[in-house]
Amino acid sequence: MDAVVEWMNAGGPIMWVIAAFSVAGWVIFAERAWVLYGSHRLESTAFIDRVVGLVKRRRFREALDACNVKTRHPLMRVMRAGLVRADRKAVEIERGMEKEMLDGLSRVNKRIAILAVLANISTLLGLLGTIFGLIDAFNATQNADQVSRQAELTGGIAVAMYTTALGVSVAIPLLFFHHFASQRAEHITADIERGASALLVAMGGDAEAAWTDAPAASALAGSPPANATA
């Protein structure tokens, strides 16, 4: 531990700033990983097939029951929003689903972009520390005698390299974290769009039959699901 502190101090104050960005990035990624891969977990294909299959058979009550899933995946809320509006016009169904989609995606994509920002800032801080270290090294050599000039120059260059190494070392994993989180967010978005489109097609296949059975579904939707996670 003492060796790490000594190494950090050798690189100057910028080293501690870069380290702080690294800690912030790890915390954000841990939170996003839990949200995207944990609480938003859902077998989307099976879920869509089940709900859409029930809708095609005009079994709206069972389709709503199928949406009572313990997950924060926005797909569940989007499809439920469409089902509770099954007795309305298609444009109202689309608007209801779109609202839930936008709300869900805003939560899914929250703080993901910060990971890329932290990675870029860490790289730039490493470069800035390198420049400052070289400036200090050359300034020191101007006032030093022949004997100590070499030592001053070597020390300044070493400080410059410390900040560069730490900046790049922090930026690389943060970029990987951003990639993984972005890929998962895109996958969730694709699931939502696929499920919403399939539900709209299924409900539009026989609008009159859907609206005949829809009041029962709307009555059931009056109270939120007991075991669904908001």
Q: What is the pTM of this model?
A: 0.78
Give me the residue spans of the domains in the chain: 2-220
Output the pLDDT for position 8.
78
Report the b/e string of 202-212 with b at 16+ CB within 10 A. bbeeeeeebee
CA neighbor of 191 nearest in space, from 75, 46, 25, 49:
75
What pLDDT is stored for residue 213 in this prediction? 45
Q: Is residue 136 within 8 Å of 159, Cβ to Cβ?
A: yes
Average pLDDT, the chain: 83
Q: Enumerate residues 6+ apart whose C-beta is below 8 A from 216.
A: 60, 61
- Mention every residue, 6+ apart, whose C-beta is less than 8 A from residue 118: 21, 24, 25, 28, 174
Position 208 confidence tier, pLDDT thresholds 50, 70, 90: very low
Q: Could you report the per-residue pLDDT of 153-204, keeping only the tens digit for each?
A: 777 777 778 889 999 999 999 999 999 999 999 999 999 999 999 999 998 7
pLDDT at 223 over 50: no
One-letter amino acid of 192: I
